[in-house]
Structure 1
Amino acid sequence: MTGIRDDLETPSRHRRRTAPAGGGAGHGRRAERERRRRPWRTFLLVVLALVVLGTAGLGWIYLKLNGDINTFDGDGLSKNRPDAAASKGENVLVIGSDARNDGNDALGGGDKTDIGRSDTAFLLHVYADHKNALAVSIPRDTLVTIPPCKLPDGSWTKTQTDTMFNAAFSVGQTEKGNPACTQNTVEQLTGLRVDHTVVIDFKGFAALTDVVGGVEVCLPDDVYQNDLNPKRPTRGSRIFKKGEQKVEGQQALDYVRLRHGIGDGSDIGRIQRQQAFVSSLMKKIKSDGLTPTKLLPLATAATKSMTVDPGLGTANKLISFAMSLKNVDLHNTKFVKIPWRYEGSRIAVVEPDASDLWAALKDDRTIDGKDASGKKKTKASASASASPTETVSGAGIDVAVYNGTTTDGLASDTARMLTAHGFTVTSTANALNKQHTTTVVQYGPGLRTRADTLAELFPGAQLESIGGAVLNVVVGADYAKESSASPAPTTVPSSVASDARSADDDLCSNLTYGAGG
């Protein structure tokens, strides 16, 4: 071995000895520079190799994801859709399917040949500033109008009124369901253009929770086997303990599907726990870091059991959309329910609150009334936004509203404006005299201060002292003219905002509804 090493080293020593006398110093400097460059060249070659290999690997992953993504038929979408330009933000419909096909019966039970139904659904509005988001849950028993939808044979159904919302997903009676019909129904209900629709089944949901290493949840009470399956003759063993715990896979699925044994056992209470779960999942993903490296395992798990609209039909589009949400703050991510009330065993949509909610989303107004359209304010608009009326707070003040003009709906419009400022509107009605040219604020003994606050919203209004512990505003023609010229910005109704959940709220808060909650 020594001889071999000497043979390799000898030529270099020979070259150094036989270098020309006149060029020895220059040649030595060049050789030294060459030796210094070699490590950097090697490093650059290694980096270049890693980039090429990494890109190839990423390309392979994207190709694999593309192969896993299922899209539904865009031809099933309505031909009479809301204007895409009407809404500044982006609307994404998320549907949780209880379809038992493709192995889902192993997680959810039931017959794998049964038709697909929507177990849960919410409309996510991502505001145009990409810093705020609002998810509106739609109970599955909500009575809605289902517009014409495409059947598997290519024909279209007729409009169905007063039909349960989750029936839209079952139109056509197929195992995979009808996402396009549910999207049509949401657009009919809200007047908003749904930009994307995502359907995720049992397997996809369970896989997501496994990939993130489990999700923290909270239970208000112990939960037993017969709470998950009420047909069970005995209580069975405990499957969830009271309090905070981590769930994944089958347990996570059981948590979000659980309805009985908590509160009044209604779908409303389950929605509140589902909102808490999604909040916790978002918190976990955010804490891990919303990067392509972290998103790829999530996307891999999700795409195997996900169906999307054609607009999200490639891995690049899907991941790009997910990355666009990285600046949405948890506190600015809100969860609400569509304005609702019970109608027998079903859910009825409450108006005008629902219409006001959709109008606020269309205008990119947040829960607290802020403009989240992402547009920079001009000096003129900035000075207008500093108007004294916008700082008026009616918190704790009750007021009755009377329409003193022949303008239809003025009392209701005024009530919405007052509610947006925090006033509690006790009633709306027409005044006996409909010829009021000037708005009048009427107040009883001891209510002058509150009357002054109310009058700030009606420049030029007259104040009138009357008997009784009442505070009224009789809206006149002056306000009718002003409101028609510059309508008040639409805001999320207080009935909706007061029940909102933020993604960073306490894990154990607001988890039940009704008796026992």
Structure 2
Amino acid sequence: MTDAKTRPAKGSPRKGSPGKGGSTSPRARIARAAGATAAVLVLATVGVGAWFYQRLDGNITTFSPEGIATSRPPAAVPVSGGGRPVNVLLLGSDSRLGGNDSLGGGAAGVGNSDTALLLHVYGDHKHAVAVSIPRDTLVTIPACKLPSGQWTTPRTGQMFNSAFSVGEYPQGNPACTQNTVEALTGLRVDHTVVVDFKGFAAMTDAVHGVDVCVPNDVDSFGIKLTKGRQTVSGQQALDYVRARHGFGDGSDIGRVKRQQAFLSSLIKKVQGQGFDLTTLLPLADAATKSLTVDPGLGTALKLADFAQSLRDIKLGDISFVTVPWQYQGERVALVHPDAEVLWQLLREDRTLDGHLTGQAGPAPVVPATPAAAPVTDSTPLVVLNGTRVGGLAKHAADALKAKGYQDITLGADTAVRRTTLISYPTAHQAAAQQLAQSFPGAELRADPDADSITVTLGRDYAPDGTAPTDAPSALTLPTAMPTGIAQNTRTADTDLCSDLSFG
């Protein structure tokens, strides 16, 4: 699943001089950076230490994009007066392979994603929210690619973290977890980043430790931590964010709270050090060695560019929220409609209280989805069933008639497809695009010989193997933050010892 990049050949550093004034330009850029990788951009730009840039570039491992679903939510568009919102999936792998067993214990083998945060960077690039998804959350895992090249069938009622182990790839299956998050949220994930035990421990060492607050003395399962405020790094830092037993009720919810507090403290530590080169270079080296990323972040320069885009986000403008949840036996179930409200807020690039960033006053009541445009084209439609679910074509045709389409013919069942296909006469592209709003993620294909628009339903139209129910009425965002969101939210500048355990 993962494709390690070829490391650059060892050799002498490149010679060069920054020229007159070279000492000022790098530091100016560093001061604007938001994380460790900013140093990489500085070095590469001015030509000083290019050998180190190559080293960082060679550290990074990328995973194959072939496992990412072709049927995906649409990409976010730039907001008025701002940039484009960005969604980044951050995963912590508990795989014991590659020497990680010395830190995590247990038997070596394919791991799960026991830490998962979906980071939404708002279009103004001055605010961000990180949504924690507990590992035990029950979700539908959509079709995912296996090492054989085959795709799995969707499965309902699965633990969220098991998506990472689908196919038992040696380094996990981040593409499957990304597919699961996109299907769950309706948000397109722009980038996915995976960090392992060794990399996490090394990064905490590189910043000379992170301040934390331990809610109670812990002495269980080989983990010993003393109650109170302290600075941890390496193994202790890993124990703090990983341990469940010995804290509160031993649940994953308490662990999520500590992870959020830890990340807040780490951000504060890096920002507080002023991005000094002596700190950033070891941190960049440690970070890039530990990362498995999508090809869009597959070089140190790309990582640096992304870090640069976050430079204006202040600590108090970063929020952490756990997706609204409740226990379902020993597992975690999402709370409705609060979870849907959360995803809709992020899809509309709104803050958790319903505002557009920078907007003051009461949050407006906004329809969660835009009203469907009136049907403006009378081109005949043909609906084919490309799934194994009987009656699906009629179900889709009835739904289309309810939206104003009239001339609809049901065709014979066809070969099974994974993604819905809309083929159309070349002159009716606009009508096909309008129709595609009823089939998110559908593939559009022009057919100059066609005299009708044909919809061939794929498995993405019935992800749980049953005919989908009629679309719900438009969700209306509340004027106040829903309880399920408010009770599970903390800002990055919240006191370290606040609300750290559960139960």
TM-score (norm 1): 0.64
CA distance in 2, matches of 1:123, 1:217: 22
SS at the partner of 1:128? coil
Per the alignment, residue 445 of structure 1 pairs with none
Residues 353 and 47 (structure 1), Cα distance of their counterparts in 2 relative to 1, 3 Å cut:
closer
SS at the partner of 2:245? coil
For residues 444-467 of structure 1, the C-alpha deviation after alignment (integer angstroms, 9 at most, x for no partner) is xxxxxxxxxxxxxxxxxxxxxxxx
Assess if the C-alpha contact under 8 Å between 2:335 and 2:484 holds in 1.
no
CA distance in 2, matches of 1:295, 1:277: 19
Structure 1 residue 493 displacement after superposition? 2.7
For residues 81-101 of structure 1, the C-alpha deviation after alignment (integer angstroms, 9 at most, x for no partner) is 100036851111000001111
For residues 405-443 of structure 1, the C-alpha deviation after alignment (integer angstroms, 9 at most, x for no partner) is xxxxxxxxxxxxxxxxxxxxxxxxxxxxxxxxxxxxxxx
CA distance in 1, matches of 2:324, 2:116: 15
Residue among 224, 238, 242 paired with 1:253: 238
Asked if 1:151 corresponds to 2:142, the answer is: no
Structure 1 residue 158 displacement after superposition? 0.7
CA distance in 1, matches of 2:57, 2:356: 37
Residues 390 and 45 (structure 1), Cα distance of their counterparts in 2 relative to 1, 3 Å cut:
closer
Asked if 1:79 corresponds to 2:83, the answer is: no
Per the alignment, residue 337 of structure 1 pairs with 322
Asked if 1:187 corresponds to 2:178, the answer is: no
Residue among 311, 315, 318 paired with 2:303: 318
Assess if the C-alpha contact under 8 Å between 2:119 and 2:129 holds in 1.
yes
For residues 55-76 of structure 1, the C-alpha deviation after alignment (integer angstroms, 9 at most, x for no partner) is 3334222211111110000011
Per the alignment, residue 500 of structure 1 pairs with 489
CA distance in 1, matches of 2:250, 2:290: 29
Assess if the C-alpha contact under 8 Å between 1:356 and 1:490 holds in 2.
no
Per the alignment, residue 100 of structure 2 pairs with 104
Structure 1 residue 48 displacement after superposition? 6.8
Per the alignment, residue 287 of structure 1 pairs with 272
Per the alignment, residue 117 of structure 1 pairs with 112
For residues 135-188 of structure 1, the C-alpha deviation after alignment (integer angstroms, 9 at most, x for no partner) is 111111111000100111111111011111011000011221000000000000
Higher helix share: 1
Structure 1 residue 362 displacement after superposition? 1.1
Instruction: Look up the equivalent residue of 1:306 and give its one-letter code.
Output: L
Per the alignment, residue 17 of structure 1 pairs with none
Per the alignment, residue 121 of structure 2 pairs with 126
- Bigger radius of gyration: 1
Assess if the C-alpha contact under 8 Å between 1:227 and 1:259 holds in 2.
no
SS at the partner of 1:85? coil
Structure 1 residue 300 displacement after superposition? 1.2
Assess if the C-alpha contact under 8 Å between 1:290 and 1:323 holds in 2.
no
Residues 107 and 364 (structure 1), Cα distance of their counterparts in 2 relative to 1, 3 Å cut:
same
Provide structure 1 residue ranges, at least 5 long, that are not aligned to the other structure. Answer: 1-42, 229-238, 378-384, 393-483
Per the alignment, residue 13 of structure 1 pairs with none
Residue among 193, 199, 204 paired with 2:199: 204
Per the alignment, residue 221 of structure 1 pairs with 216
CA distance in 2, matches of 1:216, 1:165: 30
CA distance in 2, matches of 1:332, 1:300: 28
Residues 491 and 317 (structure 1), Cα distance of their counterparts in 2 relative to 1, 3 Å cut:
farther
Instruction: Look up the equivalent residue of 1:252 and give its one-letter code.
Output: A
SS at the partner of 1:183? helix
SS at the partner of 2:139? strand
Assess if the C-alpha contact under 8 Å between 1:357 and 1:491 holds in 2.
no
Residue among 309, 313, 330 paired with 2:294: 309
Instruction: Look up the equivalent residue of 2:294 and give its one-letter code.
Output: D
Bigger shift: residues 201-210 or 114-123: 114-123
Residues 47 and 502 (structure 1), Cα distance of their counterparts in 2 relative to 1, 3 Å cut:
closer
For residues 206-246 of structure 1, the C-alpha deviation after alignment (integer angstroms, 9 at most, x for no partner) is 01100111000111111114474xxxxxxxxxx21110000
For residues 274-324 of structure 1, the C-alpha deviation after alignment (integer angstroms, 9 at most, x for no partner) is 111111101101111247775443221111121000100011110111122
Per the alignment, residue 465 of structure 2 pairs with none
